[in-house]
Amino acid sequence: MNKLDLEKIKETIMVRGKGILAIDESNSTAGLRLASIGLENTEENRRRYRDLFLDVPEIEKYISGAILYDETIRQNSLKEIPFIKLLEDKSIVSIIKVDMGIIDMEGFPGEKITEGLLGLEDRLKEYYEMGARGAKWRAIIQIGENMPSDECISQNAEILSKYAHLCQEAGIVPLVEPEVLMDGTHTIETSEEVLGRVLKKVFDVLQEKDVYLPGLILKTSMVISGKDSNEIKTEEEIAERTVRVLNKYVPKNVGGVVFLSGGQSTKEGIANLNAIAEDTSLPWDVSFSYGRAIQGPALNIWSGNDDNLTLAKEAYLTVLKDLSKATEGEL
Ligand code: 13P
């Protein structure tokens, strides 16, 4: 592991005023996005969908990294330029999703484990040669009756640590993503308590395994009430609780902290990030690594009709500009 190289990559991702575009939906999840705008889930439509977000002038002013799916990293843009080259020309770091999705956890109904360690070392080597310098692995934690169990948190933490270790050995900065899902009726207090348990365990295991924290980026959910809880919380409360739990459980030398949107609307994602970034007690650079909250407005405007592309790309850039300001708490 070359610690200096990892830190340099980290610095090209965690840049003031910039964040990460998550556009790494698996083919089946991409199919859901396409279905929502009436398009069939074909390879060509997925290419049109990725192109809408990747081949846009000036995105490099607002994003420093883009998370890609395996199909996309091998694909060409509509102008027949490899997507990875398009990003490289804009000095945007290509980050590759390397987990292979979730499976049911045996003996723990409702809980999930993320797969993909098998053959990961070789896949990382190939992605490195292709030009990827970051990777992403998402573990999901569901809140519910007697959930999450300590076993689920612990197994996912072990797997995330193995993944992070393999990435660093391959010269790739790992985005470590334990997502506490918004699905459910839980209160914001429960969300804070669970995120705390998860972060504590994840960093305990990362440290046991000697993962180099300055060469790692935490991708986390915010402290938010369950989607079906009927609670309405201000961005100030969400920020206060999120900052508190991060300050308590995330070591100060972690390379950076980015947030997923996890089902928040675009407006909420912007406002909540802005409120978090306003807090001066955070020892890390913080930013966004949003998928749905970035893509939503542009996808709806596009709706698969290329006559709408200009407007869709404008809407996309407006979201990115607002997010960029939000990373500095300037909205
Ligand atoms: P969302 O912002 O849509 O939650 O996606 C981010 C992501 O990368 C989830 O793994």
Residues annotated as catalytic (active site), given as ranges: 177, 219
Task: Give the residue, by CA position, lying nearest to ligand 1 atom 9.
Answer: 260
Pocket of ligand 1 contains residue 261 by CB under 6 Å: yes
Output the CA 290–ligand 1 centroid distance in Å: 5
Tell me, what's the pLDDT at 209?
A: 96
Pocket of ligand 1 contains residue 290 by CB under 6 Å: yes
Counting ligand 1 atoms within 8 A of each CB, the residue from 63, 136, 163, 290 with the most, and so the one to mutate, is 290
Closest approach atom of ligand 1 to CA 261 = 2
Pocket of ligand 1 contains residue 138 by CB under 6 Å: yes
- In order, the DSSP letters of 229-267 are S-----HHHHHHHHHHHHHHHS-TTSSEEEE--TT--HH
Output the CA 66–ligand 1 centroid distance in Å: 12
Dist. CA 10–CA 12, nearest whole Å: 5
Output the CA 202–ligand 1 centroid distance in Å: 19
Tell me, what's the pLDDT at 1?
A: 83
- Contacting residues for 29 by C-beta, under 8 A, at least 6 apart: none
Pocket of ligand 1 contains residue 291 by CB under 6 Å: yes
Counting ligand 1 atoms within 8 A of each CB, the residue from 292, 299, 323 with the most, and so the one to mutate, is 292
- In order, the DSSP letters of 163-205 are HHHHHHHTT-EEEEEEEE---SS--HHHHHHHHHHHHHHHHHH
Q: Is the dihedral of CA 38, 44, 46, 52 positive or negative?
A: negative
Closest approach atom of ligand 1 to CA 293 = 2
Pocket of ligand 1 contains residue 296 by CB under 6 Å: no
Pocket of ligand 1 contains residue 178 by CB under 6 Å: no
Q: Is the dihedral of CA 94, 102, 272, 284 positive or negative?
A: negative
Dist. CA 92–CA 214, nearest whole Å: 20
Angstrom distances, CA of residue 21 to CA of 33, 64, 266, 319: 16, 8, 13, 11
Dist. CA 105–CA 151, nearest whole Å: 10
Claim: this prediction has a pTM higher than 0.85: yes
Pocket of ligand 1 contains residue 66 by CB under 6 Å: no
Task: Give the residue, by CA position, lying nearest to ligand 1 atom 10.
Answer: 138
Written as six digits, the tokens of 84 are 């990875």
Q: What is the pLDDT along the chain (331 residues), one digit of tens a residue?
A: 899 999 999 999 999 999 999 999 999 999 999 999 999 999 999 999 999 999 999 999 999 999 999 999 999 999 999 999 999 999 999 999 999 999 999 999 999 999 999 999 999 999 999 999 999 999 999 999 999 999 999 999 999 999 999 999 999 999 999 999 999 999 999 999 999 999 999 999 999 999 999 999 999 999 999 999 999 999 999 999 999 999 999 999 999 999 999 999 999 999 999 999 999 899 999 999 999 999 999 999 999 999 999 999 999 999 999 999 999 999 9
Output the CA 201–ligand 1 centroid distance in Å: 22
Output the CA 275–ligand 1 centroid distance in Å: 20
Output the CA 258–ligand 1 centroid distance in Å: 11
In three-state secondary structure terms, 113 is strand
Dist. CA 212–CA 144, nearest whole Å: 33
